Amino acid sequence: MTRQARASAAAEMPGCLGEGQESGVLGDGQVGRAHGAALGGHQRLLGPFDVQAEPGVRRHLHAATLPTLEMSKAWNLYKGFDNSGGMHEQTSVSDDLRGKTVLLTGATQGMGRHLARLLAARGATLLLHGRDRERLAAVADEVRQSAPDAPVRTYAADLADLEQVRTLADAVLAAEPRLDVLVNNAAVGGGSAPNVRETSSQGHELRFAVNHLAPYVLTRRLLPLLAASAPSRVVNVASMGQAPIDFDNVMLEHDYEGVHAYCRSKLALIMASFDLAAEVAQHKVTANVLHPAHLMDTYMLQQSGFTPAASLDDGAQPTLRLIVDPKAEGITGRYFDRFDDRPAHPQAYDAQARARLAALTTELTASFTA
């Protein structure tokens, strides 16, 4: 599908703006209209996470600053934005991770693969997840060569099958004495055939299953180990692309479009992250979620027909900060657009919507989390 055709399809999806860390698709900007109202209900659970921009640094474009735009105008704004370094509010994240264990999903390509090398360079014990065993072994060898002293272990699972997600979690619980950070990075993008609805092994819409239900099950089953290793962190990789969930059509059994499904699944992940943060704070486990970079150079972005505007490192650095930065200690229940604490889609702060999503998620995953 051409970029123009993809743009035309995305422009028909109300409320989905931005690009995912994998799919890289811009939406129509309608999310921006309600951000102001959402700010009033945005709970700052703990202390400020201050980041000072370097002199002369341009603030990066965010959904809350955009009026409602048709897709072509949004694309032109992004195309003209200087992403060569102007949006990089860099902080020092060179801290030693020796003695810390990090589980990273989706480690065989894209940002996950790059992030694995950055974590290994800091001495972390790495638990790398991937779906393809051969690619997973290749990445593990690559990481070991780049950081010979960093322990690396691998766990294979298809996140489109919640039974395999449960098996993955149980394998980690059986083999690992501690878990300091869980990074839910793996995702399914909009797809190369966006009008073809796909389902998971359990029959759920594929993007909702992989991008929301799978990290939910994995996190829930690993909570005892995270709590025992506290202070510990859960970092969920979401997207600026967020669309409200229609609870009468959660699985998009009608009016299906892949990018729209992706945007809804990422908002579901954000909503669940906020609930998790409130639930586990007493155990000294934090949970934050972020949009790592705009138009990051990933396979799924290229598959969607867009020209990359950010490197893998542009996305890895904000993610790395939430993993390792001492200033993030105790910060929880936040959505970050790269380095900035920003409001997510207004539905993320709708208590009734969050409760409905939580009830549905519990129902769909109960046999895998018990």
Hey, which residues are catalytic here? Answer: 262
- Could you identify the residue written with the tokens 């709590």? 227
Asked if 224 contacts 232 with a C-beta cutoff of 8 angstroms, the reply is no
Amino acid at 152: V
For residue 110, count CB atoms less than 10 angstroms from its CB and return exposed for 0-12, middle for 13-18, buried for 19 or more: buried
Token pair in block for residue 203: 């029959």
Amino acid at 279: E
- Return the number of other C-beta atoms located less than 10 Å from residue 133's C-beta: 11
Distance CA 327, CA 89 (A): 15
Token pair in block for residue 41: 């209900």
CA distances from 30 to 68, 71, 121, 167, 345 (A): 5, 11, 41, 40, 10
Nearest to 357 by CA among 220, 254, 198, 246: 246
Token pair in block for residue 36: 């102001």
